[in-house]
Chain A
């Protein structure tokens, strides 16, 4: 094929190559004029089920539809080569997903206001300046937005070449923090450079890992579903990083990394049976560790938040008092009492409780809805990403950001054992904020290349198909 005459290294006739690439693309597109059911059937036909799912019923195209004969333009091998080639070609970027940007900026603004409110008392008490934390957070937000604007403009496919380098930087930092890290709140997480600047490698590793895993899984293709080439190396890779993070006593980050990796692995086409077995195994290991000695007391303390309120449940109990005093409409912005020393870390881990106290149930609902919309836009992006790498990356980043918010809120409401993770875009913490915004930049970049879905979920066509299917049953 002609396309093979332009290996990735040949950049000089780039423009021409792009033109040619585009033209073949167009041809492919034009051949898929009624793409929906055609491709669906194609894919189903080409799917081979193995193992547990071997006997599961394959989904058939409903009867009565015009018959679509599979249009096989390229062999699978060719498709793969085409995809690989496409990764190295510069593309014409579209518009960013402005809804996503607006959501993130809204969270950021609410976050800055609430951070000022939650931290002003402590700032004034310990630093003599009510805006001490706020100014630092504002600076981080500015840096973060700049970083976001940069990553927004870098074609996300560049990352698949850089992610290995990223891992090569982030992993040693993670090891370094074990040796030289400064500790606070029972975990050693910070690498300090002088007294001005400190940095949390465990935040960086989330983004780098998302980038790397997406690349790794995208390369594996169908091998992901095998044990030897898929699950086993994946568990080793993730296990190594989890181990490092857990050595820092940073349970929250470990959970986020585990779930992020899991979500991406699942999305990439993991074998469900293998995945469930691995999850079960991992869960057993976790439980065996957690219930050794007295550690389990801390884990199950949240089941009765009104017991041991000056010890294990101090943070949770005070969080609940904050939420409860907020009621429906809250005490009013700035009127929190709990932030004046009663609730530890009101500007980091427990900022959601302060939001609940000052803005009430209404304010909490707004925050949750914003994160839910963020999840919606993020997964929508993942669904429309033009390639598997983009889809995995969007899934990973969205899962990470939303999961982190959920863990924070769940810990605050006593729904899970207490884990100290920051609320993205809102909690105080420069590393977290900058990295989160960088990740959003990557998401926004993906949004510039989205395709219209072949079958929009709520499209008229799809709905009629579903209705008829129901009727048939």
Chain B
């Protein structure tokens, strides 16, 4: 037994004692962290682990009358980069610069729209995350996935798409990047379409994926309601194309067409020119429609009020007929002008022609301003005229799809009214009406005097709760007999100038050529309103062409379009001809 060994045995005891001291210290430290400060640290930890995730509710889709998709959602990725994380990951790396250059080069390859300079700037910021692009195409997403780069991540994002492009764009409106619906159906039914976002609170891993252990709670998202419109996309397409074509042909600045079911008030088509593509709505932010007055996003059929011109004469006649003050055969003398005793300016016919003695039917055939003014001023008077404007729904909104103009007129109870207003309102001046209000007036006539509430949403399917819109009577405006008499007068008017007639069917139309005070007389809004077939009306059609240049009249600018739409509608819906004899005679 050497002395070395003995000393070694003693000394290693000292080491063992030191180890014991160390272990006791560590136990004390553990007691401190785990028991004394455990609850505090556990709270910090769960704050870090708990994540509240908003569950996006899928926005409701929009179908047309046949169940074809007009608006739906797809998921596209947004690309985010993490500048701070990149710096942390590469703080030990010597070739940070070259790795950054490589990463930026690869990103730029896939996303050519993001410049390398911009990426350099972003990576040199102190931002946690930054969205560099999106929504990107599925191909780009796949390419980015295959790059397997760190500090870049993709976040799926629902994107609204419209398979039909600009089909019924102004009826539908659009949805912004943050999911807000604007204009049209998207705007009016935004709350219903958006649904209710749910939330989910759970303990997650660092990347935010919920863990299988731990607490979780939440509320599921309530999907947005699906809407089915009364719009028939075939008709809509046909109408839209024909309108665009006509606007171009007559070099007009804008135009509107409404096709409405004569009995139910359902909108079958509603088109405006110029229009926009809701898939790329941002590209149209500076474009104007409706005579250049309003943004192209507004639906001109609802928002673009105008002076309806001679189409209004049917309303004037309806008021007089309904009160039994005239019959279609009541005559008056038309010298081409009419003077009033109370200082009201003289009214002349648009052609300044003197028609002599003419029946009320002939007033419509000639579209004589003098006759209309005479009926309103001399036969009806304000007390009997304005209640009818009220009942026909002028200056009232329908609230069918998005922003809508009210329209306006001065009645004898409003300030600033003069008898001149009454005389001019009789043939559609000094009154602002929307195209829809005009169409509804003709729908009333077509429907035997009963005005329906117009509607465009046929079915709302709110997560299984189905609400089908039933056609609703708004009110009876004129008697069925008045409607019948007026229809005959309008058929005569149609047959008189023959711009709207076509073989096999009787049509009831009235043209309108409105001028606006203060503008040259050849700057018109040419329109034509009516319904077909006249004997058993199916569709009310209103065509309005703003500022046509090659021909300025309702009969010549709007008439051919009205006829072609009416003809195709009859064909498309297989409506039996009510005048088969005219077909034979043509043959």
Interface residues, chain A, with chain B CB atoms under 8 Å away: 39, 43, 46-47, 79-80, 83, 121, 186, 218, 221-222, 263, 266-269, 310, 320-328, 331, 334-335, 337-338, 340-342, 356, 360-361, 364-365, 368, 371-372, 375-376, 379, 382-383, 385, 387-388, 391-392, 395, 399, 402-403, 406, 409-410, 413-415, 453-454, 457
Contacts and interface: CB of A to CB of B under 8 A. Distances in A.
Contacts of B22: 406, 410
A337 B5 contact: no
Question: Which of B8, B15, B25, B40 is the most central at the interface, judged by chain A CB atoms within 10 Å of its CB?
Answer: B8
Contacts of A388: 2, 4-5, 8
Nearest to B206: A341
A379 B9 CA distance: 9
Given A338-B45, A388-B2, 6 more contacts: A266-B15, A321-B42, A325-B42, A341-B205, A364-B30, A382-B12
Contact of B41 (A222, A268, A320): A320
Nearest to B19: A375
- 5 A-B pairs closest in CB distance: A324-B41, A341-B206, A340-B205, A321-B45, A379-B16
Given A321-B48, A413-B30, A415-B25, A379 B13 contact: yes
Interface string B25-56: 11101110111011111101110110000000
B206 A342 contact: yes
A123 to B, nearest CB: 14
Interface size class of B (residues with CB under 8 A): 35 or more
B49 to A, nearest CB: 5
**Chain A residues touching B, majority SS:** helix
B23 interface: yes
Interface of B: 1-9, 11-16, 19-20, 22-23, 25-27, 29-31, 33-35, 37-42, 44-46, 48-49, 88, 92, 203-207, 211, 213-214
Contacts of A47: 3
B26 A335 contact: no
Contacts of B14: 266
A324 B44 contact: yes
B2 A83 contact: yes
Contacts of A340: 204-206, 211
B2 A413 contact: no
A310 B126 CA distance: 14
B385 to A, nearest CB: 78
B205 A395 contact: no
A401 B8 CA distance: 19
B42 A324 contact: yes
A371 B23 contact: yes
Nearest to A310: B88
Q: Which of A266, A372, A402 has the most CB of B within 10 A?
A: A372
Contacts of B8: 267-269, 382, 388, 391-392, 395
Contacts of B207: 341
Given A320-B33, A326-B38, A406 B13 contact: no
User: Of A80, A263, A321, A341, which is in contact with the most chain B CB atoms at under 10 Å from its CB?
Assistant: A321
21 contacts: A83-B2, A186-B92, A221-B2, A221-B4, A263-B12, A263-B15, A269-B4, A323-B30, A327-B39, A327-B42, A328-B35, A341-B207, A361-B31, A361-B34, A368-B26, A382-B12, A403-B19, A413-B26, A414-B29, A415-B25, A454-B1
A39 B1 CA distance: 9
Q: Which of B5, B33, B44: most chain A CB closer than 10 A?
A: B33
A364 B34 contact: yes
B474 to A, nearest CB: 62
A232 B195 CA distance: 81
B40 to A, nearest CB: 7
Given A340-B211, A413-B29, A323 B16 contact: no
A365 B30 contact: yes
Contacts of A387: 5
A325 B35 CA distance: 10
Given A321-B48, A388-B2, A454-B1, A382 B9 contact: yes
A323 B41 contact: yes
Nearest to B46: A325
By secondary structure, the B interface counts as: helix
Given A79-B2, A388-B4, A406-B19, A342 B38 contact: no
A334 B16 CA distance: 34
A392 B49 CA distance: 49
Given A341-B205, A342-B49, A409 B26 contact: yes
A361 B30 contact: yes
A80 B19 CA distance: 32
A391 B5 contact: yes
A267 B11 contact: yes
Contact of A335 (B13, B27, B46, B213): B213
A83 B1 CA distance: 9
B119 to A, nearest CB: 24
B40 A415 contact: no
Nearest to B27: A368
Nearest to A47: B3
Contacts of A83: 2
Contact of A395 (B15, B27, B48, B92): B15
A383 B15 CA distance: 12
Given A388-B2, A388-B8, A372 B41 contact: no
A337 B49 contact: yes
A393 B5 CA distance: 12
Nearest to A311: B88
Nearest to A356: B34
Given A365-B30, A388-B5, A415-B26, A324 B40 contact: yes
Contacts of A328: 34-35, 38
A395 B16 CA distance: 9
A291 to B, nearest CB: 21
A115 to B, nearest CB: 18
A337 B88 CA distance: 23
A361 B27 CA distance: 9
A402 B19 contact: yes
A328 to B, nearest CB: 6
Contact of B214 (A337, A364, A365, A413): A337
A208 to B, nearest CB: 21
Contacts of B49: 337, 342
A327 B31 CA distance: 9
Contacts of A325: 38, 41-42, 45-46
Contacts of B26: 368, 406, 409-410, 413, 415
A413 B9 contact: no
**In this complex, which of B4, B11, B39, B42 has the most chain A Cβ atoms within 10 angstroms of its Cβ?**
B4
Contacts of B40: 324
A47 B206 CA distance: 64
A192 B206 CA distance: 31
B213 A337 contact: yes
A322 B206 CA distance: 14
Contacts of B34: 323-324, 326-328, 356, 360-361, 364
B29 A410 contact: yes
A337 to B, nearest CB: 5
A413 B31 CA distance: 10
Contacts of B88: 310
Contacts of A186: 92
A397 to B, nearest CB: 12
B3 to A, nearest CB: 5
Most buried by B among A337, A356, A457: A337
A413 B1 contact: no
A185 to B, nearest CB: 9
Contacts of B206: 340-342
Given A388-B8, A413-B29, A121 B23 contact: no
A220 to B, nearest CB: 9
B15 to A, nearest CB: 5
Given A337-B203, A337-B214, A340-B205, A324 B38 contact: yes
A43 to B, nearest CB: 5
B23 A406 contact: yes
A395 B31 contact: no
